Amino acid sequence: MGIPESELAEKFIHAAGPGGQNVNKVATAVQLRFDVRNSPSLTAYVKNRLRQIASHLMTGEGELVIEASRYRTQGRNREDARARLAELIAEAARPPPKKRRKTKPSKGAIERRLKAKAGRGQVKKLRGRVRRED
């Protein structure tokens, strides 16, 4: 599922972390914005799943915001942000897991279990004190 460039908005910001004095001069971190609510590229199902999965990354207007600052270069951070977006969309596009159908044990299994229980009970009963018969 491809998202056109026109639907993505990128903004480069100052990043915290390693980089020394370079961090204060160069905006290497990227803030990727994607308007989920108004995107024609996504189905309604994928949009709803994205809202559930990535609610902590969504704004009130339905925009998904991903900040990437792992790397020291704009290019690597840009690739990282886009990869994370693609991962989120791929996860949202997966079909829901099948519902679990309740099953019950077969008659034979129930009988075997009860027979084993009775056997264990008998073994425990025989462990008691031995009475002398005079």
Mean per-residue pLDDT, 79-98: 86
- Tell me, yes or no, whether 132 lies in a domain: no
Contact by Cβ (8 Å): 54, 23:
no
Domain tally, the chain? 1
Select from 46, 22, 23 the least CA-distant residue to 36.
46
Domain with 11 in it: 5-93
Average pLDDT score over the chain: 82
- Tell me, yes or no, whether 79 lies in a domain: yes
- Tell me, yes or no, whether 133 lies in a domain: no
Cα–Cα distance between 14 and 74 in angstroms, integer? 10
Span 41-70, pLDDT tens digits: 788 888 888 888 877 878 888 788 888 878
What local confidence, expressed as pLDDT, does residue 113 receive?
Answer: 97
- Indicate which CATH number applies to the domain containing 58: 3.30.160.20
Select from 83, 84, 74 the least CA-distant residue to 15.
74
- Longest alpha-carbon distance in the chain: 102
**Is the model's pLDDT at 121 over the cut of 60?**
yes
- Tell me, yes or no, whether 110 lies in a domain: no
Quick count: other Cβ atoms within 10 Å of Cβ 81? 24
- Tell me, yes or no, whether 121 lies in a domain: no
- Tell me, yes or no, whether 117 lies in a domain: no
